[in-house]
């Protein structure tokens, strides 16, 4: 039996989300990353069991989940400048290469840990690729996008922290 494909219905809030192994506050687990795409699979009162794209399932406080406005739709239209995923992928690759370069410098002893932390603080990127589907974080437009190969679909807005510029 093939499990149904992962279809996010929510994302974790911008500050991340605490998790539990069971709907029991005495069993805390690893926190979810900010804006991580999630699929709700079960509710028990305020407890919600979510599925992550990597297959990990965990319990969260469902009241804190950010609902996605709709499932992404494919499109038969040709790529345009705003729907072509390649420029966003190029920016993500460049940011990841920069972060990798910092790790290489740290591993080679050319950076101390404090300098690494300071310089790495400028990096923030997000990409989840699952077969033909991809969820890509575009910080320039403060938005997650869904890509199915036919183009980018806006998916979720990144909200600034209180006190930060929009």
Cα(124)–Cα(107) distance, integer angstroms: 21
If phi over 0 gives left and psi between -120 and 50 gives alpha, with beta otherwise, what is residue 118? Answer: alpha
> Domains along the chain?
10-67 (2.30.30.40), 86-157 (no CATH)
Query: How far is residue 42 from each of residues 12, 81, 98, 123, 154, measured CA to CA in Å?
Result: 16, 39, 40, 34, 26
Q: Which of 112, 158, 148, 160 is nearest to 11 (CA)?
A: 158
pLDDT of residue 116: 92
pLDDT digits (tens, 9 = 90+) for 87-138: 888 988 998 999 999 999 999 999 999 999 999 988 888 888 877 888 888 8
Q: How many residues does the chain have?
A: 166
CA 39 to chain centre: 12
């Amino acid at each position: 039996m093939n499990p149904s494909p992962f279809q996010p219905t929510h994302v974790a809030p911008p500050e991340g989300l605490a998790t539990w192994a069971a709907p029991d506050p005495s069993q805390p687990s690893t926190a979810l990353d900010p804006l991580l795409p999630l699929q709700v699979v079960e509710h028990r009162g305020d407890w919600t069991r979510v599925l992550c794209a990597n297959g990990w399932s965990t319990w969260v406080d469902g009241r804190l989940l950010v609902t996605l406005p709709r499932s992404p739709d494919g499109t038969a239209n040709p790529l345009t400048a705003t729907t072509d995923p390649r420029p966003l992928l190029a920016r993500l690759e460049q940011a990841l290469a920069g972060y990798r370069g910092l790790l290489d410098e740290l591993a080679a002893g050319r950076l101390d840990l404090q300098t690494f932390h300071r310089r790495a603080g400028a990096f923030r990127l997000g990409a989840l690729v699952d077969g033909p589907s991809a969820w890509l974080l575009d910080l320039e437009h403060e938005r997650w996008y869904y890509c199915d190969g036919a183009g980018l679909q806006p998916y979720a807005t990144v909200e600034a922290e209180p006190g930060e510029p929009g």
